[in-house]
């Protein structure tokens, strides 16, 4: 286990009372999990299962399920954690085939698979949440032997296609970078989580620990390259050299070389990585740059789709909450003249209700946990 760490409470640093922070944290938790119609995205199923629903898309995604498990372990919600994990393992997990050992990225709420492909961020969040559950609550039996389950996921992420299971690994084994999906040769900057890889280097199967340590280093190098040096924006999808991925594929409904949707998570991840490990290989500049670049837009509550150089695209972003909350989380990596204003803005923002609340409120949860000192290494 790691040496005990002290976590920043940035809300307290700007003068918000500890009691107010804890009260709001409880309110945020209740809203997300048990707020009722128009608020919650967690739904119990039967006696021992449950799912996180993308209500706008009417499906259950490994993104939301693994995020939900991370929220639960951070908030000491073991029953909900176990319900989510059993649902994911029962309905999303694929034993064999091209993606054997991985999880279907999207299922219907009845458990039927919408697709037999994985999304790589789900696997890394599942593994990290399971390790934390093992350390916080102890291992159980079967699928609740959390640490064993985590190690098995990480083994398959690197060894699929080499050990008789599946066909392709989830990481590029030559450059240590995570793939967008195993079958495609490009990446998603928001999938890079060096702070997770530092811990995988301690807790994964011993044969793979050196790989994970190199992946942490490579990840920070990549994030420095992919984030624009003026705006701090990263593209949704990127080539391995960090440049926006503008190639077209049949399955793509729109472009993904701009700052939109997935991209918002990148600076938030940079913030948490620096909070946990304090390593800056140049990637933290993106946090400072994005705070400065977007402050005038934030003051007017105007958020658009932008290209990474700051050129405005033709339409506003539908995620009016995701941008300010992730930029606020970036304060953990860079203090600027606008950091206090970003954190105050976040504190005064309510969670979203209605059809498109799922993604915004997931990122709100992460940011609130991180900025209150409650997104911790267990």
Active site residues: 63, 262
For 303-321, give one letter per residue: b (16+ CB within 10 A) or e. Answer: bbbbbbeeeeeeeebebeb
Residue 24 Ramachandran class (φ > 0 left, ψ -120 to 50 alpha, else beta): alpha
79-105 burial, b at 16+ Cβ within 10 Å, e below that, comes to ebbbbbbbbbbebbbbeeebbbbbbbb
Parallel/antiparallel/unpaired status of strands 60-61 and 49-52: unpaired
Contacts of residues 142-148 at CB distance under 8 Å and 24 or more positions apart, as own/partner, are 143/85, 143/86, 143/89, 144/82, 144/85, 147/203
């Amino acid at each position: 286990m790691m040496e005990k760490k002290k976590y920043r409470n940035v809300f307290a640093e700007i003068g918000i009372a500890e009691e107010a922070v804890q009260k709001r944290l409880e309110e945020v938790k209740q809203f997300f999990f048990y707020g009722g119609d128009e608020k919650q995205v967690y739904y119990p199923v039967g006696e021992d299962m449950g799912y996180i629903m993308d209500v706008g898309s009417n499906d259950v995604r490994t993104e939301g399920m693994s995020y939900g498990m991370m929220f639960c372990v951070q908030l000491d919600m073991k029953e909900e954690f176990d319900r989510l994990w059993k649902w994911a393992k029962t309905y999303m997990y694929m034993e064999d085939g091209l993606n054997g050992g991985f999880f279907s990225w999207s299922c219907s709420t009845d458990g039927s698979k919408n697709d037999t492909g994985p999304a790589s961020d789900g696997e890394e969040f599942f593994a990290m949440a399971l390790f934390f559950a093992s350390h916080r609550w102890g291992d159980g039996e079967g699928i609740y032997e959390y640490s064993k389950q985590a190690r098995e996921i990480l083994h398959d992420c690197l060894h699929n296609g080499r050990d008789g299971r599946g066909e392709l690994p989830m990481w590029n084994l030559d450059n240590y970078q995570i793939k967008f999906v195993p079958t495609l040769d490009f990446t998603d900057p928001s999938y890079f989580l060096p702070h997770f890889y530092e811990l995988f280097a301690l807790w994964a199967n011993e044969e793979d620990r050196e790989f994970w340590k190199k992946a942490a280093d490579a990840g920070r190098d990549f994030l420095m390259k992919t984030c624009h040096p003026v705006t701090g924006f990263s593209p949704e999808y990127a080539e391995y050299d960090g440049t926006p991925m503008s190639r077209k594929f049949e399955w793509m409904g729109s472009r993904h070389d701009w700052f939109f949707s997935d991209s918002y998570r990148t600076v938030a991840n940079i913030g948490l990585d620096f909070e946990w490990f304090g390593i800056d290989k140049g990637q933290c500049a993106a946090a400072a740059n994005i705070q400065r670049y977007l402050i005038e837009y934030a003051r007017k509550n105007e958020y658009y789709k932008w290209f990474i150089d700051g050129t405005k695209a033709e339409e506003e972003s539908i995620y009016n909450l995701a941008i300010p909350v992730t930029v606020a989380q970036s304060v953990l990596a860079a203090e600027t003249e606008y950091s206090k204003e970003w954190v105050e803005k976040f504190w005064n923002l309510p969670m979203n209700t209605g059809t498109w609340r799922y993604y915004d409120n997931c990122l709100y949860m992460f940011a609130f946990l991180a900025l209150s000192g409650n997104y911790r290494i267990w």
